[in-house]
Amino acid sequence: MTAPILIKNLHKGFGDLQVLKGIDLQLAAQEILYVLGPSGTGKSVLSQCALGFLEPDQGEIWLQGQPIPKVGHDNWLALRRQTALVVQTPALLEERTVHENVALAARHALGMSTKAADARATHLLSHLNLRHLSKQRAAGLGPGIAKAVALARALAVGATTLILDEPTTGLDPIQAMVVDEAITDAVRSEGVSALVISHDLESMKKVADRAILLYAGGVRVRGTPSELLNHKDEIWQQFQAGLAEGPL
């Protein structure tokens, strides 16, 4: 099966600052892969390159089995619509209901009829366990629920791969759990794949199939949550323990 995201030997710098130095990464179909790392290690740069917003200095990026074209290329938009970025701020239409936020995305992005878009919104909200909130205005949602609705909206436009930027940052444990469950529900029920940019180790342990740690421009460690739990790498051990002193 074609990898939704495949990155080979990715290099990216800004002037004299080399941020990424030969990153290799593969997101498998229907997988949740966490990209972890301290602030400033290039997690966001990696996601921006994967989306085509930043052009690599060297290396290859493939989406859905195709090399990512430059912005403005004929098939750039069609390919990009299959890979949706879910940012930290949900940016919902606050005066609209939850259902309308999801249905409008389907109508405008895919040209669906009102009836078809409503059916798609109902389907997605049901599968993400949000249907009971369909008639609630977005302005009244808690932060975790709002991010879950934003995830449903990303699926409504036809995305088969999600890139989530720090989805649980700033959330209390209960709200973070809501987001974690929405990510898992999206992958398991809709068959999508998810690349999660994060430093939330608790969410990673509960949600991820695999994870990698970025450090010094490269992938320092990689593995399943259970494999990483007892990994002996000193950088990983300090990051996992949250210690101020150490090699980091």
* pLDDT per position as a tens digit, 18-64: 999 999 999 999 999 999 998 889 999 999 999 888 999 999 999 98
**What is the reported pTM?**
0.93
H or E stretch including 150?
Answer: helix 143-156
- Calpha distance 153→139 (Å, rounded): 16
Question: How many Å apart are CA 202 and CA 180, to the nearest integer?
Answer: 10
Beta carbons within 8 Å of 227's beta carbon, 6+ residues apart: none
* Residue-wise pLDDT tens digits, 220-229: 999 999 999 8
| Domain 5-91+163-241: CATH architecture, name and number where available | 3-Layer(aba) Sandwich (3.40)
